[in-house]
Amino acid sequence: MLAFSHWTYEYTRGELLVLDLQGVGENLTDPSVIKPEDKQSRGMVFGPANLGEDAIRNFIAKHRCNSCCRKLKLPDLKRNDYSPGRINSALGLEIKTEPAVETPAGEEGSDCPEDLTQL
């Protein structure tokens, strides 16, 4: 689930972060969609759970990439080219990647399905 949060932040270039997914199997509930303060609308599009830049900074500080992050070739959040609310529009969707570190089967952190479309 945390790899999905990481992916949403990278895919939207720091515009959104989906957190707090809960559930069983394919049934996920209670997501929190976080948006930086300067990108929020007065209409509370994502509701009162939008904790803004503090939640984004907290996620970036605490997130440790797992096997799914590596399989998705997501870059380290602490080394990205943007910070909450300050996106360089010239970046497009190109993401810097670092070589994936393979985790042998059976070791901790290898719970990511081979077919990532099953996430």
Catalytic residues: 20
CB atoms within 10 A of CB 78: 8
The span from the CA of 33 to the CA of 97, in Å, is 25
The span from the CA of 44 to the CA of 83, in Å, is 22
